[in-house]
Structures are given as C-alpha cells and as structure tokens.
Structure 1
Amino acid sequence: MPVWRPLFLWPARVSADARAASFNTDGITWHSYAEGPDRAQVEGKPIYMLVRATWCPMCCAFRSVFFERRVEVLSQKLIFVLVDRDQESEISQAYAPDGDYVPRSMILSPEGVLQGALNSGRSDYRYFLPVENPGPLIDLLQRALEIRI
C-alpha cells in the first residue's frame, strides 16, 4: 500500500538546481552521475555519491551537514555526485546492495564501482549515515581518502 504524503507540503515543481542548492552548491561542487565517474577518472579521485529523494525528511535533515567547513574541504579531494532516487531510479537501484532507501552515502572508485567496505558500519542499512551531525560523513570521506581505491 502506498504511503500517503501531503502534497501541499512539497512544491509541485522544483528545479534540479534548487534541489542541489540545498546541499551547499556554494561550498561543494556537485556532479551528476553521468559526469561524475568521467571526472573522477581524469582527476584520479574517489567518488562520494549521495542518493536522496526530494520528499524524504531525513534527506532534508541531512542537508545541514554539507555546510560544515570540514565537509567542504574534504569535498575538494573527492568527486561529489548527487542522485535523485525517483528521477534516476535505474542508477539508484543499481547502487542498492542492501535496499533502495534514502539517504544513502556511498564511496565509489573513480570507475564507479561501489566500495562496499566503506560504509556506516551498521549491519542493516549499511550506507545510511546519521543525519544530525557531520561527524560520520567526515569519517567516511576521510576513510575513502586513506584507502587507495
């Protein structure tokens, strides 16, 4: 049975730029999935991929961690990719080894291969990070940089 969501709480049309802006596009360069792996290969950087949905309250809460200065600094050493679970469902499902939940924070090789060992450490929802503080995201990004992918 579908979950009812009050439509009046969400704008009927939100541009891709407006959605991405909520994840700190002033301090972080976000890429689409189509361009992320190509750029990562050229620059020799791992990819941080965030799969999110516009209707997800946890995704909305997660936005604030991307304004943390340490996250901004680390973002310069990785390629950040933002995927909309609903608009890019094929990509979301391709990177859903333990479910198509959101938000999912994943580290990929420059070729776009999921690095399964770089996860939240949970036994379930391995790619879900706590959304209320930047510490777990910072830890994940630092581990991605320490391991030669």
Structure 2
Amino acid sequence: MPTGALARAFFGIVFNTVYCTAKGRDNGFGNGYMWANSLEAGKQMAQHHKKPVMVIIHKSWCTACKNLKPKFATSSEIQSLSKYFVMVNLVDDEEPESALFAPDGSYIPRIMFLSPNGTIDHEIYNEDGSNQHKFFYSRPEQIAKSMKKVLDKYNLEHFDV
C-alpha cells in the first residue's frame, strides 16, 4: 500500500473515531443526550452516520433558554427521538455567524434542523409558534413534533404526527 494511501486510511480511522465518540457539553439541556462537541463535529457525525442534526442556539443569560432547559432535559419523548439525530447545542459565542442560522432574526433560543448532508432545512420549524419567530420553541411537544417531521421527511423513521 502506498504511503499516502496508508496515511489517509490512518487519519480516516482516527478522525471517524474522534468525531463519533467526542462528547460535547449539555449546557443544561440534559446529560441524557449524546451531544456533539461542535457544529462542525456534528455535521461530520451526521454525514458519517446518515442522521439529521438538531441545533439548539442559546445564551447563558437568556430567561427563555433557562426556562426551556429543564423541560427539554426531562422530556422522555425528545430523549427517545434523539437517538435518530446528531444533537448540537451552541451557547453564547459558539453561535454561527452565518445568516443561514438566523433566517427570521437572531432571537433565542432557536432550534434548527440540518439534513444528514449538513444543509440547513428551513422548511422544518415550530408550526405551533409565532410566524415572526419560526424557530423559537418553548415546549417539548413542539420540539418533538418537528423532530418527527424531520425523520419523516428524510425517511429515517415513520411517525404519526
């Protein structure tokens, strides 16, 4: 085996292992979830495992974020659906600078979904929420409903909504 191919194989194994086992912080959203340690790691895990990504963008000082955290952390429905997702939560300065992650404003918290290939899916949003802040969720059942829509859209699992 040529040296270049051997090096690529070695680094491929190392990076797949690192991204598939790296555990991120829960930032209050629950340690019962497997969190990716960054958005980029989450995207790579999603492509490798062919799973969609759930991205939570929040701030440590935000009252609405603080109110959502315990509800999210203890939701058995979200926990059971999360096994089909790569879970990413981005706090404070980890928020992506791209306007794609703030299509209708930079309010918080925002929950967005990415396809398994890493493309932001603006068609999945909180249909029970505000038309002005489509990616704002305040209740676990709203989040679970969107998670089911994502899984149904990408034919990963069928759920009755």
TM-score by length of 2: 0.73
CA–CA distance in structure 1, aligned partners of residues 115 and 52 of structure 2: 5
Runs of 5+ unmatched residues, structure 2: 1-23, 156-161
- Over 3 Å counting, the alpha-carbon distance change for 1:77 and 1:90 in structure 2 is closer
Higher relative contact order (CA 8 A, sep 6+): 1
The residue identity in structure 2 corresponding to 1:62 is L
Q: 2:136 aligns with which of 118, 128, 142?
A: 128
Aligned equivalent of 1:97: 103
Which structure shows the higher helix fraction? Answer: 2
1:33-91 per-residue CA deviation (whole Å, 9 max, x = no partner) reads 1200000001100111000000001001111222211111111011111112x312444
- Over 3 Å counting, the alpha-carbon distance change for 1:94 and 1:117 in structure 2 is closer
Runs of 5+ unmatched residues, structure 1: 1-15
Aligned equivalent of 2:82: 75
CA contact (8 A) 2:100 2:120 kept: no
The residue identity in structure 1 corresponding to 2:136 is F
CA contact (8 A) 1:92 1:100 kept: no
CA–CA distance in structure 2, aligned partners of residues 82 and 70 of structure 1: 18
Query: Aligned residue pairs: how many?
Result: 128
CA–CA distance in structure 2, aligned partners of residues 92 and 102 of structure 1: 15
Is 2:90 aligned against 1:64?
Answer: no
User: Once superposed, what is the RMSD of the aligned Cα atoms?
Assistant: 1.8
Larger of the two Rg values belongs to structure? 2
Q: 2:59 aligns with which of 53, 56, 62?
A: 53
Identical-residue share of aligned pairs (%): 27
TM-score by length of 1: 0.78
CA–CA distance in structure 2, aligned partners of residues 126 and 87 of structure 1: 22
- Over 3 Å counting, the alpha-carbon distance change for 1:91 and 1:40 in structure 2 is farther
